[in-house]
């Protein structure tokens, strides 16, 4: 695992400059929290790291081959159960018991085999988190992953994420400094 080095990254959409010579080093194995005003380029940065957007210029070094993510929207397969949604992203040899254990740790023990379309928004969010955790990406990108969770659930889910993501590089985009603290993340304030 290597540090991720981002140098002079530029991205614009039509006349709007979103990233302007953005440079940063994300230390390998760290939990790196990014905060900033809406529209400053946080999500765009994650999309570039995932390969979903192409930077106009600049360079990224040290990006691992395996990346997992929790997007702002859940991106689940509605007809599949919670277990099936997680199994899609998990390595093929992942035992069902490991998937059940992860979902149960996130408070979903009673919803394992229900289609995710029948789950509440907060439950769906936790399925998306379980899927990213078990996908075993060396880099875990979290784009406002705890949005929509009540306070007690949010705290317990953050503890599970911190434990299960240990040793991986994690980039957390959030508007809540409490999440940075709870995950033991370093804080980077992104500016427009």
pLDDT at residue number 18: 95
pLDDT at residue number 7: 98
Mean pLDDT of 118-130: 96
Count of CB atoms within 10 A of residue 58's CB?
17
Checking if the pLDDT of 192 tops 80, the result is no
Checking if the pLDDT of 110 tops 90, the result is yes
Note the pTM of the prediction, 2 decimals.
Answer: 0.95
Mean pLDDT of 154-164: 97
60: enclosing H helix or E strand: strand 57-61
pLDDT in tens, 23-66: 999 999 999 999 999 889 999 999 999 999 999 999 999 999 99
Mean pLDDT score of the chain: 95
pLDDT band at residue 116 under the 50/70/90 scheme: very high
Domains of the chain in sequence order? 1-66+139-145+162-192 (3.40.50.300), 75-136 (no CATH)
Q: In whole angstroms, what is the distance from residue 148 CA to residue 140 CA?
A: 20
Q: Which residues contact 151 (CB under 8 A, 6 or more apart)?
A: none
């Amino acid at each position: 695992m290597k540090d991720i080095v981002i140098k002079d990254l530029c991205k614009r959409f039509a006349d709007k400059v979103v990233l302007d010579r953005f440079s940063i080093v994300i230390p390998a194995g760290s939990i790196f929290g990014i905060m900033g005003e809406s529209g400053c380029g946080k999500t765009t940065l994650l999309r570039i790291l995932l390969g979903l957007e192409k930077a106009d210029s600049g360079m990224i070094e040290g990006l691992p081959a395996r990346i997992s993510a929790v997007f702002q929207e859940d991106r689940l397969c509605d007809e599949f159960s919670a277990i099936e949604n997680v199994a899609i992203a998990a390595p093929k040899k992942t035992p069902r018991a490991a998937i059940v254990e992860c979902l149960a740790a996130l408070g979903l023990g009673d919803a394992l085999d229900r289609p995710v379309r029948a789950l509440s928004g907060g439950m769906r969010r936790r399925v998306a988190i379980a899927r990213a955790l078990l996908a075993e990406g060396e880099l875990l990108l979290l784009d406002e992953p705890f949005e929509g969770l009540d306070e007690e659930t949010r705290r317990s889910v953050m503890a599970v994420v911190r434990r299960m993501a240990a040793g991986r590089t994690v980039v957390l985009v959030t508007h809540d400094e409490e999440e940075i603290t709870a995950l033991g993340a370093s804080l980077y304030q992104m500016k427009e």
